[in-house]
Structure 1
């Protein structure tokens, strides 16, 4: 009995705050990256319920089509699948160009896709996979889509980071880890890059209709840990993690209700949260922006 009580209490510690917003998104267009599984898929489902037209930007379009069909049958919403591989700058540019030809405006961009502690590999363009996918791919994508987000209606950019960003630094002198690679540290570094990117983006879009947010969704039951854990251990640990429904609550809060200002742009548990000292340095945020632009070949 005592053991059961401890287990239940521990599970509740990992549970989350909920977004109680009743806001609808009828007539709004939302782009979500990597949303054929996990919290991305759950986010697509919930925003579709609220009337949004969802563009699923996914690498595996076959899986995305199945997910879109499932969600559409459930919500009756409009779903569209488009090819996007964040580990390929050519794919990012092709996606953005196709979207600009088809759409006049976007209302929400959710940078959800991510790689978690994978073995050392490189993207199509030669970047370390975690920094290349988690940060650089989304950096280029967001910048290419800013013209579609800039209009008279409110718009939002929501980037999923992690509490792991607290351990992160920006390895300016060795962005591709040629001097040594630790996959856990590389993940944390990519996540602090997400927060620094959001901080500098907030300054760049100041005075426009766009608000920007970075967030920690919590420790969620997804397949991100596939590179680290065996099936049994992953199943055991997953009991203490958030469900995907719990895991999307801060995403929903940032996409629907949150207010962003100069010091409140990082959220956890549906509230503004503490971010690391490094992630609050404007000089690092600006330096990372310039370096990222150079790495992806983007004119500033």
Structure 2
């Protein structure tokens, strides 16, 4: 019902400005991340896009700059599948930036063949959850000093089909790429929920979201039948501009200032799965993530 109501609601828009604000967006050289960067740059924010491929990132910076008319868009190298790269990126941000008002954990991999990150994590849980978990941890002091600030993590409705396998988080016993993707997106929702509790009273708020079924590069690993289904439903899917709207909403909407830890879709609060509201599971995932990343984050 929520989806139907959202479908008929008028499109969200806001003239909110972000002058003197600094925004980091991961994986913003393409798709919804790039469209969010263009929108937030138009609002006056300083934008740093964090990407693995610097050639693509530089081309995206040129495009974002031209589309937004902003002169404060730059790119930095960040490989979320390698904790060494994440630490180097965070070190540079902490050293060079006076503030970080909005962190958008946008980068992701989807239904890819089995692979492992540099740190030995299954690729989807490694990039989509562990990489962003570590990145947020390393930038958190700067974000807190910049309050009011927001941390936005792009999840997916696929989280609703997911479960967290605490005994085999890296799918070493058996691998189903769709299940592993859903697990990583559920992890995004649980991380946002846990983070909100830990940040109460700091002026830093957190949000997770479903961007919609968006036509992006993420589809490249779908098999033949899945690609066919996607072609059939494509008239009902969103382009990247439409897909970026909920990310932008979570970044700028003033009424969300007092909200934290929730899940959003179509620029409105949405229902996440029962597992997405399981605080016991969220705590266990948090502890496991800290242990596997060798960090202490109370």
Secondary structure of 1:150's partner? helix
- 1:76 CA drift (Å): 2.3
CA distance in 2, matches of 1:187, 1:17: 31
TM-score (norm 1): 0.91
Which segments of 5 or more consecutive residues in structure 2 lack a partner in the other structure?
A: 1-5
Distance, in Å, in 2 between the alignment partners of 1:228 and 1:279 is 25
Partner of 1:20: 13
1:172–1:87 distance in 2 versus 1, CA, 3 Å: same
Of 112, 117, 139, which residue of structure 1 is paired with 2:133?
139
* 1:17 Cα deviation from its structure 2 partner: 5.8
Measured in 2, the distance between the counterparts of 1:261 and 1:20 equals 19
| 1:20 CA displacement | 1.2
Residues 1:51 and 1:131: Cα distance change in structure 2 (over 3 Å) = same
Shift of 1:88: 0.5
Q: Does structure 1 residue 253 correspond to structure 2 residue 249? A: yes
Q: Structure 1: how far apart are the matches of 2:195 and 2:288? A: 14
- Residue 210 of structure 1 and its aligned partner are, at CA, apart by 0.4
How is 1:1-300 mapped onto 2 (pairs within 5 angstroms)? 18-77=11-70, 78-151=72-145, 153-229=147-223, 233=228, 237-257=233-253, 258-259=255-256, 265-300=262-297
The answer to whether the Cα contact below 8 Å between 2:154 and 2:188 also exists between their aligned partners in 1 is yes
* CA distance in 2 between partners of 1:170 and 1:146 (Å): 25
Distance 1:238 1:61, change over 3 A: farther
CA RMSD across the alignment: 2.0
Query: In the TM superposition, what is the alpha-carbon distance from 1:79 to its structure 2 partner?
Result: 0.7
| Helix, strand or coil at the partner of 1:158 | strand
User: Hey, what's the Cα distance between the residues in 1 that align with 2:146 and 2:174?
Assistant: 47
Q: Which residue is 1:7 aligned to?
A: none
Q: CA–CA distance in 1 between the matches of 2:179 and 2:258? A: 29
Once the two structures are superposed, residues 31-90 of structure 1 have per-residue CA deviations (whole angstroms, 9 ceiling, x without a partner) of 000000000011101111111110000001110101101211232211111000000011
CA contact (8 A) 1:17 1:249 kept: no
**In 1, distance between residues paired with 2:67 and 2:125?**
35
Question: 1:264 & 1:17 partners in 2: Cα distance?
Answer: 25
C-alpha contact (below 8 Å) 1:111/1:159 kept by paired residues: yes
Gaps of 5+ in 1: 1-12
The CA distance in 1 between the partners of 2:180 and 2:140, in whole Å, is 28
Please give the alpha-carbon distance, in whole angstroms, between the structure 1 residues aligned to 2:261 and 2:294: 30
Alignment size in residue pairs: 288
Deviation (angstroms), 1:153 = 3.6
